[in-house]
Amino acid sequence: MNRLVRVRLVAGWLLVMGVVAALGVPAGAQNSPPPDTPHAGDVASASCVAPAPHGFTDVPANSYYNVAVGWLVEAGITSGTVPGKYSPNSPVTRAQMALFLWHSADSPAPAGNHGFTDIPANSYYGDAVSWLVEAGITAGTSAGKYSPNRAVTRAQMAVFLWSAAGSPAPIGTHGFSDVVASSYYETAVTWLVEQQITSGTSPGKFSPSNPVTRAQMAVFLWHSACPIPAPTPPIAAGDLHSCALKHDAGTVSCWGSNTDGQLGDGTNANRSTPTTVPGLTGVTAITAGPYYSCALKQGGTVSCWGSNSSGQLGDGSTTDRLTPTPVPGLTDVTAITAGKWHACALKQGGTVSCWGYNYYGQLGDGSNWDRLTPTPVAGLADVTAITAGYVSSCALKRNGTTACWGANEHGQLGDGTITNRLTPTTVPGLTDVTAITAGKWHACALKQGGTVSCWGYNYDGQLGDGSTTDRLTPTPVTGLTDVTAITAGYVHSCALNDNGTAACWGDNGWGELGDSTTTDRLTPTPVTGLTDVTAITAGYVHSCALNDDGTAACWGDNSWGELGDGTTTSRLSPTQVLGF
């Protein structure tokens, strides 16, 4: 999920009810007719990533809430407080909050009266408050009082969202020092943290007494209808090449083998140092297959380049491309992943489309037919993350479960069988998942709490359970805790720890584990000298990491220059990528 001053929102109840309309009313105008709020917009068709201009002069183009406000306008949720103004810094009152929630539920007619003496008859928010009471979302601030003019605090917001979700019982703790034990909002905040709705305003702080602004409310509603999946690592390793994204510039650099044009520089010349992919700007995520690469751009479009033997570039042909080529008809994409000869994209509504080679059913459309353009995965919804193995695919759903499809000869689908699946099949017994990754014939899942489980092929110990026995269902990786990210390569796996260090396991014949040896490891082994890491990726027999200072390091096989250090010398421990 994207962050709003370190706040992340997933308000699933809004997805269920559907955000239809919400009103913003300037402070002090609660008893007068509200400003005109259009209802002509369509939330379902409004672009989550590139909405039309909102037209408000008080919403800066580079603000964290700019896109959110644009989406609200395009969806017909608000027309602002006065013509040309959105008033982003104004606090949201309890009257306005009632309207936001009520209109989010399509303004149902309440059966009874709210019973509050401080809500004037015929007020514009009376029915909204009555509905809140009827739905059990609020009982007011005190007996007979709703306090409509009072600003909504972050504590109250937590309770509103939690109550609207049915007041579920959370597991775990919130970790905030300013959330009072046994307070009316403690359980709600704990649930928000558990659902990854918030990480607070600063480390260890939730700021429960701070008011919620209209800017923040815009982002709350935007992300409620437009959930953002777990971010794609800004560095990607293919079989014999690597690519990295410079977020500040939105550009991509690649290095290594270029036999099929996978570096995207218009040539077939190998590069032992990073080379900028020309003409590619506004990139937000990248992925690398064995001999091709893809980039996700601002606005939700995708471009791919390199080998296209099975239509894995998605451009309707099987022609290799030496430079980035748009995937036609693909819009509103939020994440991408590349397998051996197929690729998949996650769209803003939680659906997935795949294209390319489909002999094993890895496109998930119920057939074995190759597809040269994106084709929807059958019956898949509410997805937040995707990953592609060599000839299989997996998706992480909003409820923390995982589904996989495609080849299953080594149990890489995790369903307890070795039966191929043409459509998504749930991985049984796997819950509370926060991230997924797929290698050649194995897959791994990161669980809430920082542990990891893997399944599938294990000949080289890539499952990390201390054995070389294939596993048909998820099996815990030995000794891994406090993990924040995972990646699976050809026959090895790696994990990023919350302290910035990394550990890898599995095949190590080329030094791809980075522990200064070529000894295979059946359990996680620390990568030598690697600290302050923010992202990690595993390729064929090499691995790379991005550091918090923006530099990159790679290790393992370097026969094609895939380590980016200006040589073709393999490295048993991390070596800095030159010029990046």
Q: Residues 485, 554: one domain?
A: yes
Q: Residues 223, 300: one domain?
A: no
In 348-470, the DSSP E strands lie at 352-356, 371-376, 383-388, 392-397, 402-406, 421-426, 433-438, 442-447, 452-456
Does 389 map to a domain? yes
Token pair recorded at residue 554: 């790679």
We report the CATH number of the domain holding residue 338 as 2.130.10.30
DSSP 183-245: -TTHHHHHHHHHTTSB--SBTTB--TTSBPBHHHHHHHHHHHHSPPPPPPPSEEE-SSEEEEE
Indicate whether 229 pLDDT > 90. no
Output Rg (C-alpha) for the chain, integer angstroms: 25
514 versus 214: the higher-pLDDT residue is 514
Q: Residues 268, 142: one domain?
A: no
Residue after which a domain boundary falls, among 196, 227, 258:
227
What is the number of other CB atoms lying within 10 angstroms of the CB of residue 230? Answer: 19
Query: Do 245 and 252 touch, CB atoms closer than 8 A?
Result: yes
Tens of pLDDT, residues 112-132: 889 999 999 888 889 989 999
What is the number of other CB atoms lying within 10 angstroms of the CB of residue 55? Answer: 15
Does 187 map to a domain? no
Which pLDDT value is given to residue 79?
A: 81
- Residue whose entry in the numeric block shows the structure tokens 């990390």: 464
Q: Residues 465, 357: one domain?
A: yes
Query: Do 449 and 435 touch, CB atoms closer than 8 A?
Result: no
Mean pLDDT of 162-187: 83
Token pair recorded at residue 107: 């303004």
- Residue whose entry in the numeric block shows the structure tokens 């897959």: 443
Indicate whether 292 pLDDT > 90. yes
Tens of pLDDT, residues 360-416: 999 999 999 999 999 999 999 888 899 999 999 999 987 789 999 999 999 999 999
Which pLDDT value is given to residue 40?
A: 52
Select from 537, 563, 565, 562 the least CA-distant residue to 240.
562
pTM for the whole thing? 0.69
Q: Residues 135, 251: one domain?
A: no
Indicate whether 227 pLDDT > 70. no
Lowest mean pLDDT: which of 32-41, 163-172, 194-203, 566-575?
32-41
**Separation of alpha carbons 503 and 527, rounded Å:** 5
84 versus 400: the higher-pLDDT residue is 84
Residue after which a domain boundary falls, among 200, 227, 254:
227
Q: Output the average pLDDT for the chain.
A: 87
Does 181 map to a domain? no
Does 157 map to a domain? no
Q: Residues 326, 436: one domain?
A: yes
Q: Residues 248, 217: one domain?
A: no
Which pLDDT value is given to residue 28?
A: 37
Does 169 map to a domain? no
How many contiguous H segments (helices) and E segments (strands) does the chain have?
7, 28
What is the DSSP code (8-state) at residue 267? S
Rounded alpha-carbon distances, angstroms, from residue 258 to 255, 266, 554: 8, 10, 18
Query: Do 489 and 538 touch, CB atoms closer than 8 A?
Result: yes
Give the number of domains in the chain. 2
426 versus 65: the higher-pLDDT residue is 426
**Separation of alpha carbons 264 and 307, rounded Å:** 11
**Separation of alpha carbons 317 and 311, rounded Å:** 6
Select from 218, 171, 292, 243 the least CA-distant residue to 58.
218
Which pLDDT value is given to residue 321?
A: 98
Lowest mean pLDDT: which of 24-33, 94-103, 133-142, 363-372?
24-33
For residue 114, what are the domain limits? 1-152+211-227
Instruction: Give me the percent of the chain exceeding a pLDDT of 90.
Output: 61
Determine whether 111 is exposed, middle or buried from the number of CB atoms within 10 Å of its CB (0-12, 13-18, 19+).
exposed
Does 397 map to a domain? yes
135 versus 462: the higher-pLDDT residue is 462
**Separation of alpha carbons 191 and 167, rounded Å:** 9
Q: Residues 130, 243: one domain?
A: no
Sheet with 283-288, side-by-side order of all strands: 283-288, 292-297, 302-306, 321-326
**Separation of alpha carbons 404 and 330, rounded Å:** 22
Lowest mean pLDDT: which of 139-148, 158-167, 262-271, 296-305?
158-167
Rounded alpha-carbon distances, angstroms, from residue 14 to 4, 101, 263, 500: 18, 9, 42, 35
Does 206 map to a domain? no
3 state DSSP class of 70: helix
Which pLDDT value is given to residue 129?
A: 93
**Separation of alpha carbons 476 and 70, rounded Å:** 44
Q: Residues 102, 251: one domain?
A: no
**Separation of alpha carbons 539 and 62, rounded Å:** 35
Mean pLDDT of 543-561: 95
Q: Residues 287, 222: one domain?
A: no
Select from 302, 299, 272 the least CA-distant residue to 287.
302
- Taken as a whole, the chain contains a residue count of 580
Q: Residues 563, 511: one domain?
A: yes
Does 520 map to a domain? yes
Which pLDDT value is given to residue 332?
A: 80
Residue after which a domain boundary falls, among 171, 203, 227:
227
Q: Residue 16: which residues within 8 A CB-CB, separation 6 or more?
A: none
Select from 248, 282, 270 the least CA-distant residue to 546.
248
**Separation of alpha carbons 49 and 579, rounded Å:** 31
Indicate whether 464 pLDDT > 50. yes
Q: Find the helix packing angle between 66-74 and 214-225, rounded to 10°.
A: 70
Q: Residues 340, 467: one domain?
A: yes
